[in-house]
A = this chain, B = another copy of it.
Amino acid sequence: MDKQYDTLKLSHQLCFPLYAASKEVVKRYKPFLDELDLTYTQYIAMMVLWEHPTISAKDMGEQLFLDSGTLTPVLKSLEAKGYVVRRRSDEDERVLMCSLTPTGLALRDKATSVPPRIAACIHLLPEEGIALYSLLYKILGK
């Protein structure tokens, strides 16, 4: 009759499988991203740049749910790889503008092979993927 601690069982948690599945899926990206010499964080930053070839660090951080403590070293490493140029805005010196280089743009062609290969190793039906997607964005408040 020891029900008062049931809510503390691992199997009763929603956050825990969220946390574990997130790490698990990021891990599945690794062999594919290794081919591009990108980490997962660098990859999602490149995704933002492929859609927005010039964007402020702040706007990128908001899209990625990352703060400057995380994003600053990511952007510096992408700059070191030659995919990004970092430059202060002329209108407002506080703002750091990030721009995609031609090399960074070219990387997109190699990257197109990643999503289908990831999809192939996440064993969800299409409708399950859609359901998961909308539940996750509901948690994110978007």
Interchain nearest-CB distance for A107 vs B (Å): 10
Instruction: Tell me if B122 and A139 are in contact (CB < 8 A).
Output: yes
Q: Is A106 an interface residue (CB 8 A)?
A: no
Instruction: Tell me if A136 and B8 are in contact (CB < 8 A).
Output: no
Instruction: Tell me if B47 and A29 are in contact (CB < 8 A).
Output: no
Q: How many copies does the complex hold?
A: 2
Do A47 and B129 form a contact, CB below 8 Å, given A138-B124, A140-B17? Answer: no
Q: Is A20 an interface residue (CB 8 A)?
A: yes
Binary interface encoding of chain A residues 76-95 relative to chain B, with 1 for a CB under 8 A from any of its CBs, else 0: 00000000000000000000
Give the interface size class of chain A. Answer: 35 or more
Residues of B close to A10: CB separation below 8 A: 44, 47-48, 51, 63
Residues of B close to A51: CB separation below 8 A: 9-10
Residues 83-142 (chain A) with a chain B CB within 8 angstroms = 108, 111-112, 114-116, 118, 122-124, 128-129, 131-133, 135-141
8 A/B residue pairs, CB under 8 Å, sorted by A? A5-B50, A8-B47, A8-B114, A10-B63, A19-B22, A25-B139, A122-B139, A123-B138
